[in-house]
Chain A
């Protein structure tokens, strides 16, 4: 049974600070990892994906993957009130070619305080 674990929060971070979101997963066979943002009542939108160990940066976002520890994280720099949302961690079987349904965590509710 594949599982993705996240702290549900809420995680409260002051505006302009770094928000750090964490996720652990159980399936060592997972090859792809994703962070989605979901606003209340809306479907998720992709923020970043990462396949390889290490860091991957995209603008204010940095994803970090450690396959040995089965751990993936998301850092949000210069947090803005508009970043307040639920962040979902997800895993998939394939990295690159091929598509499969994803296994999602329950999400971490992030609140950016002005």
Chain B
């Protein structure tokens, strides 16, 4: 099956700093990537949808100026958490789907655990 990687797998940062998380499709072209966030014992919550070469679409309640998404190529999307605060500590997971893809071919990355001190 298709492989999606994320980097880093975990990160610890100080409050007020920015953190960039990369999501890569390793063996297919990802026309659409999704970013989710999961707090402990909670469900995955969709944050935004990004299509290659266009602006991301954010879900209601997600601050687009705080969570910057760039889908610059068909294999890479990045999520930057700007001015991170402890409440942003969470498990961030991306997923990707390829050309003519559908929801059942949405491949998840391994996730990035962010801890903001």
Q: Which residues of A are interface residues toward B (Cβ below 8 A)?
A: 4, 8, 32, 34, 41-46, 49, 88, 90, 92-107
Majority secondary structure of chain A interface residues (helix, strand, loop or mixed): loop
Which residues of the partner chain A approach B101 to less than 8 Å between Cβ atoms? 99
**Are B49 and A46 interface neighbours, CB within 8 A?**
no
User: How many A-B contacts at CB < 8 Å in the complex?
Assistant: 66
Smallest CB–CB gap between B88 and chain A, Å? Answer: 18
**Are B106 and A102 interface neighbours, CB within 8 A?**
yes
Majority secondary structure of chain B interface residues (helix, strand, loop or mixed): mixed
Q: Bound state CA distance, A86 and B42, in angstroms?
A: 11
Which residues of the partner chain B approach A34 to less than 8 Å between Cβ atoms? 103-104
Which residues of the partner chain B approach A41 to less than 8 Å between Cβ atoms? 113
* 14 A-B contacts (beta carbon < 8 Å): A34-B103, A44-B93, A49-B103, A49-B104, A90-B44, A93-B103, A98-B102, A98-B103, A99-B101, A101-B49, A102-B46, A104-B43, A105-B43, A106-B43
Excluding A4-B43, A34-B104, A105-B43, 15 further A-B contacts by CB distance (< 8 Å) are: A42-B110, A42-B111, A43-B108, A44-B93, A45-B108, A95-B102, A98-B102, A99-B97, A101-B46, A102-B34, A102-B44, A102-B46, A103-B46, A104-B36, A104-B44
**Are B46 and A44 interface neighbours, CB within 8 A?**
no
Task: Among B45, B49, B103, B110, find the residue whose CB has the most chain A CB atoms closer than 10 A.
Answer: B103
Smallest CB–CB gap between A8 and chain B, Å? Answer: 8
